[in-house]
Amino acid sequence: MATRGQDSLHRWLDDASAAMAGTSEQRRDMVLELESTIQDRVEERTRHGEERERAIAVVLKGMGDPAEIGSAYAPGRPLLALHHTRPFLLNTASLFAAHFLLVLGATVADRELALGVLRIPPIEDPKSVLSVCGHALRTLLFDAGLVLVLFTLLSRVGRAIRFPRLELSVRPERRRNLEGAFFLALVLVVVNLFRDDLLALYVRGDDGVAQVPLVGPGLVSCVPWLNLWLGLALARELLYARYRERRWTLGFDLLSCVAGLFCLLLMVAAERLVDLTPAHAALGEAGDGLAALLNTAFGLIALAAAALLAAKAVRRGVRIAILER
Amino acid sequence: MPSLFDKIGAELKRGLVQIAALCLLQERLYGYQLVKILASHGLETEEGTLYPLLRRLEAQGLLLSEWDTQGARPRKYYLLSPQGMEALPRLREAWEEIAGAVGTILGTPVVGTTLPGGAKEEA
């Protein structure tokens, strides 16, 4: 039977382990090393006649806060430094709000999403699954294009007017976990390809195939932007962390701006995608059902992959902590 | 709440412990042994500082480690890697330069700048 001292030792080690970053194997290794040291210290005290229970209590007290010790194994994990939090949240939130309103208007209130020459018609009485796919693709191009261009412009303008630099503070030694987080963000973007207009149950009725969305449109529509933004910011900071040269971030900004403009142009050029019908794909009636099934299956697989990756990333100690460097 | 002096002192010590640990680990030691040796040289170091440091040095390829499960309890031993062996003389030189320069600035030239396991140099 475990004594009270042993219990408190295990509790201490559990608390330290919970604060550690790394794989379960790495954490086990670190905990074992700490336990070995604690036992050494306890043994030293008991050798001088101290009672074991008391020795454990004294040694644990001397070791300090287990969470602090555990987190010391992962120094510099802040991805977002305290002084960058406000501009980051402000910029992201304002962009998010604009996007949310536009897409909400277009997809829920049945109003066209229009910004100058850029126009996204509402999903209203879709002609076919292919038409919805075309619509979703255009919306995604619109999303990606706008995020890329705005991200670049805002970051460049911010630097020009000496607005507190918008960056995620990344330390090179945490790169592996950051890469995991970045990859996860990218996967989430891909998953968001299968938004409510695609990730849906398809019901065959008298009027043909109807969709029953699985996820609320307003909620889902905001996620791609947030993810894209995070992904872009992380990618740029990883480049900087790796090469330590500003020209890489400038190169990245230029590239993302060009890619954004390309997406927007492609979106305009692909206007006819929403007019696609099964006849265009020569799939006929059966094509609708098959495409619907494939869409749903692919969407679910992507979701499962994202969940697995998220679990893996958590195990590897991906954390987004807002701490001062 | 640690004072400003404590913070600066801790930062200063962290850098010193790194080079001292590398010097000491020319000999195979486990964490707690290292803590005690450092303390005996006047460098009191907490496990929460030393162990993560050892792991970082290991990740950088300067140290090797292995678990010894033969004794009463498992122990993780560290030893300088060939790469660490190669880096040590350069670190030693860097330390001597820094110590000399800081000593001159402070007006107290460092006499007998010694690192564990290293030859004592008289100024």
Nearest to B31 among A33, A39, A68 (CB): A33
Of A37, A74, A173, the CB nearest to B31: A37
- Does the CB of B31 have a partner CB in chain A at under 8 Å? yes
pLDDT digits (tens, 9 = 90+) for B2-31: 567 777 777 777 778 889 999 999 999 999
Domains observed in chain B? 4-81 (1.10.10.10)
Q: What is the pLDDT of residue A129?
A: 58
Distance, in angstroms, between B123 CA and closest chain A CA? Answer: 37
Cβ atoms B68, B74 nearer than 8 A = yes
Taking the Cβ of residue B30 and every Cβ of chain A, the question of whether any pair is shorter than 8 Å is answered with yes
Q: What is the pLDDT of residue B121?
A: 42
> How far is A36 from chain B, CA to nearest CA, in Å?
6
Q: pLDDT at position B80, please?
A: 94
Residue A219, C-beta contacts closer than 8 angstroms, at least 6 positions apart: none
CA quadruple A242, A245, A249, A254: dihedral sign:
negative
How large is the ipTM? 0.80
Chain A from 54 to 93: CB within 8 A of any B CB: 63-64, 68-69, 72-75
Instruction: Provide the token pair at A49.
Output: 């006649």
Of A37, A39, A75, the CB nearest to B52: A75
Which pLDDT tens digit goes with each residue over A56-107? 999 998 888 887 788 777 544 444 544 455 555 555 555 555 555 555 455 4
Mean pLDDT of chain A: 61
Interface contact B47-A68, CB threshold 8 A: no
- Name the minimum distance, in Å, from the CA of A37 to any CA of chain B: 6
Measure the CA–CA gap between A273 and A283, rounded to whole angstroms.
Answer: 16
A33 → closest Cβ in B49, B51, B59: B51
- Interval A202-225: pLDDT, tens: 444 555 545 444 444 444 444 555
Contact B46 A73 (CB under 8 A): no
Please identify among residues 192-211 of chain A the ones whose CB lies closer than 8 Å to any CB of chain B: none
Q: Do B76 and A72 touch (CB under 8 A)?
A: no
Which residue in chain B has the smallest CA separation from A30?
A: B51
Give the whole-angstrom CA distance, residue A204 versus residue A210: 6
Q: In whole angstroms, give the CA distance from residue A216 to residue A127.
A: 21
Contact A36, A26 (CB under 8 A): no
Flag if A32 and B35 touch (Cβ within 8 Å): no
**pTM (predicted TM-score):** 0.46
What is the predicted pLDDT for the residue at B42?
Answer: 86
In a 3-state reduction of DSSP, which class is residue A214?
coil
Distances, alpha carbon A202 to alpha carbons A197, A222, B106, in Å: 11, 24, 79
User: For residues A208 and A202, what is the distance between their CA atoms, to the nearest angstrom?
Assistant: 10
Listed by number, the residues of chain B in 41-100 with a beta carbon closer than 8 Å to a beta carbon of chain A are 46-49, 51-52, 55-56, 59, 67, 73-76
Q: Provide the pLDDT for residue A91.
A: 53
Mutation for testing the B interface, residue in A35, A36, A77, A324 having most B CBs under 10 Å: A36
CB pairs under 8 A between A and B: 45
Smallest Cα–Cα separation from A323: which of A91, A68, A17, A34?
Answer: A68
From A321's Cα to the closest Cα of chain B, the distance in A is 19
Cβ distance B73 to A72 less than 8 Å, yes or no, reads no
At residue A238, the pLDDT reads: 57
Nearest C-alpha neighbor of A36 from the set B34, B30, B88: B30
Q: Which element (helix H / strand E) includes A204?
A: strand A200-205
- Of all residues in chain B, the percent with pLDDT exceeding 90 is 34
More confident residue, B100 or A134: B100
CA distance B114 to A306: 54
Q: Any chain B CB within 8 A of the CB of A39?
A: yes
Looking at the complex, does the CB of residue A32 fall below 8 Å from at least one CB of chain B?
A: yes
What is each CA distance from A106 to A38, A183, A225, A230, B80, in whole angstroms?
62, 30, 16, 24, 64
pLDDT digit string (tens) for B61-120? 899 999 988 888 889 999 999 999 999 999 889 888 888 888 888 877 655 555 555 444
CA distance A184 to chain B (A): 24
The predicted-structure confidence for A252-297, as pLDDT tens digits, reads as follows 777 777 887 777 777 666 666 555 554 444 433 334 444 445 555 5
- Of residues A218 and A312, more confidence is placed in A312
